[in-house]
Copies of this chain bind each other. A is one copy, B any other.
Amino acid sequence: MDNGSRVVIEHVVPEVDCGRFPIKRTVGERVRVEADIFADGHDLLGAVLQYRREDTSRWTEAPMTLVENDRWRGEFTVSDVGRYRYTLQAWIDRFGSWARDLARMVAAKQDVAVELEIGSALVRAAGRRGNDADAPRLAAYADVLRRGGDEGARLALSDELEALMASHPDRERAATYERQLVVHVDRLRARFGAWYEMFPRSCAPEAGRHGTFADAEARLPYVAAMGFDVLYLPPIHPIGRTHRKGRNNAETAGPGDPGSPWAIGASEGGHKSIHPDLGTLDDFTRFVQSARRHGLEVALDLSFQCSPDHPYVREHPQWFRRRPDGTVQYAANPPKRYQDIYPFDFDTAGWRPLWEELRSIVRFWVEHDIRIFRVDNPHTKPFAFWEWLIGETMRAEPDVLFLSEAFTRPKVMYRLAKLGFTQSYTYFTWRTTKPELEAYFTELTGTPVREYFRPNLWPNTPDILHASLQEGGRPAFISRLVLAATLGANYGIYGPAFELCVRRAADPGSEEYLDAEKYQLVRWDIGRSDSLMDLIGRLNRARHEHAALWSDWSLRFHRVDNEQLICYSKSAPDSADVVLVVVNLDPERVQDGWTALDLDALGLAADVPYTVRDLLTGARYEWRGARNYVQLGAGALPAHVFHVEPGGAA
């Protein structure tokens, strides 16, 4: 038996899994909140959105307004990294309801003397509640209402009294939403960034020599010139020798084979050590600082697995599963066996020290100025571990970002994002047709998924050379590059393989690179005249200059009457900046067609000319209305990245 508030607050959006998980935002973003708010009867209601940083106790309030059909809306802006909370409060607006009814009675010329006395009591109570500068005025108004007559009726329905009473609502029996919901606020880089993945060991100018951090430092101007924001390095730790893989994933390594960087750990050390051939920890620190001066933030790989030679195997045998024959259980996906890799046994009774040790690895690199981690295969470790690890890390260092490399089933990928991963790899790599791309990116950017899952789009990785690149060659590389860089505010390429359009696979039907850099040193001819370096630079500059490309939520697809042409736009908040992209998905043929643009989405009026300026070529076209002609491919670039500018061409 509970005679609580008469007001119901339900169906709050955003809210992930009944509030079990936070929503994600970046600094400066708005949180727009909607809810169904209603009460029994016919009274008017008042409502506010309440929010606060989690480390403060005072709520700030933002007004909520009725949209329609009992749906209310309000919003606030998050200004700091870390966690915020938000909830809602709503109440019956007795004075507003009274004034509404009174107006109807006055219009019907009914006697309202008694009603004015009722109103007087409401105003007097507001004056007593306020205890502020308005109290005397409210008391005086209450007297006027009480005296009634024309003067009382006039005051009762005045805008002045309405405004005054609206600022002194009776919230004694207000309803508070049953949950406090959480916003996790990251820095901008969580939402917007161009990544470049590079193996430092392949940065030596001479063929055959193992590159060092000094060599990698010399490569920084090249990467910076392409306009990237994040430089991601595969593991930089000592590499195991036992069962080391040779070139092209050979079972046995040759004498000079460096092994896979993901087979972490050797006598020289493990996850907190630097591969001796790359240099020292000081060399690494210098490299990170130099990268920062070039506008590049270095991201490290977190691969929680060991080579058989990792010191952990000897020091913490209980962290690995034993086979009945006494050997350690290696990684396997039967019938495939990865005998160079020992997974941790997260089911071990000694899981607490294991978790703590892994947490200390993150702390170690954070202390060495690393704030971005790309996490290898998180879907093969327990969910509870990640929620703990990321939660602990971000509590201490809220500017740290984690990218989830989980190429697995959709619900597992989404779960990892909910648990705390800042960004996630996606299926973009395998979505190549127009219907596939439209359906997938509508799911990622136009459904509640976007509240917690931030896509990071990669056309290639050291593990994945998609058939469309193998077959399509340079035009396909350009199309996929433009798609990644404009569909995704976060995207990345694995270079220099990407900009050099490397497209030979290990075997027919395979997505593995031939002579993959994972297993051998590679000397890249980065100066090649057909490199996409310049184009990438133009694209990344366009991304930096156009706020429309800093986020994914405004993505809107537009129709084109050719299935090989995909067309979409993005706009900055309040449409201050609009970018329109058209890409030819056919690497072999010229394709043309007519657009059917959604002019509203572009912030354009019908039948007024406007200019589209290609940010890749500088070309300008005067367009008008929804229907415009485009032709792309063969010789010309297979993509337009237009800035949409109101007004005709100069």
Contact = CB atoms under 8 A, between A and B. Distances in A.
20 contacts: A1-B352, A2-B384, A3-B346, A6-B382, A6-B384, A8-B415, A36-B411, A38-B409, A38-B415, A40-B380, A40-B412, A69-B411, A70-B411, A70-B412, A101-B332, A104-B334, A114-B324, A114-B325, A117-B325, A118-B323
A3 B333 contact: no
B384 A105 contact: no
Given A38-B411, A69-B411, 19 more contacts: A3-B382, A3-B384, A3-B385, A4-B384, A6-B382, A6-B383, A38-B409, A40-B382, A40-B383, A40-B412, A69-B409, A69-B410, A70-B412, A104-B335, A107-B335, A114-B324, A117-B323, A117-B324, A118-B323
State the oligomeric state as a number of copies: 2
A59 interface: no
Contacts of A121: 324
Contacts of A104: 334-335
Interface string A105-127: 10110100010011001000000
Contacts of A110: 335
A41 B325 CA distance: 24
A42 B333 contact: yes
A8 B42 CA distance: 43
A478 to B, nearest CB: 33
A384 B1 CA distance: 8
A388 interface: yes
A4 B104 CA distance: 62
A382 B2 CA distance: 11
Contacts of A108: 334-335
Contacts of A409: 38, 69-70
A38 B379 CA distance: 11
A119 to B, nearest CB: 10
B379 A40 contact: yes
Contacts of A70: 409, 411-412
A411 B38 CA distance: 8
Contacts of A114: 323-325, 327
A332 B70 CA distance: 22
A379 B41 contact: yes
A128 interface: no
Contacts of A385: 3
A415 B333 CA distance: 51
A10 interface: yes
Interface in A177-196: none
Contacts of A41: 379-380
A412 B38 contact: yes
Nearest to A323: B114
A338 to B, nearest CB: 13
A381 interface: yes
Interface in A137-195: none
Contacts of A381: 40
Contacts of A101: 332, 334
A40 B379 CA distance: 5
Nearest to A324: B117
A132 to B, nearest CB: 26
Interface in A361-382: 379-382
Contacts of A324: 114, 117-118, 121
Interface string A408-424: 01111001000000000
Interface string A291-326: 000000000000000000000000000000001110
A192 B108 CA distance: 46
A584 B352 CA distance: 71
Contacts of A352: 1, 3
A70 B104 CA distance: 58
A388 B10 CA distance: 19
A353 to B, nearest CB: 11
Contacts of A40: 379-383, 412
A388 B3 CA distance: 10
Contact of A10 (B2, B17, B325): B17
A635 B434 CA distance: 55
A335 B380 CA distance: 68
A551 B417 CA distance: 41
A407 interface: no
A327 B114 CA distance: 10
A430 interface: no
A460 to B, nearest CB: 25
Nearest to A121: B324
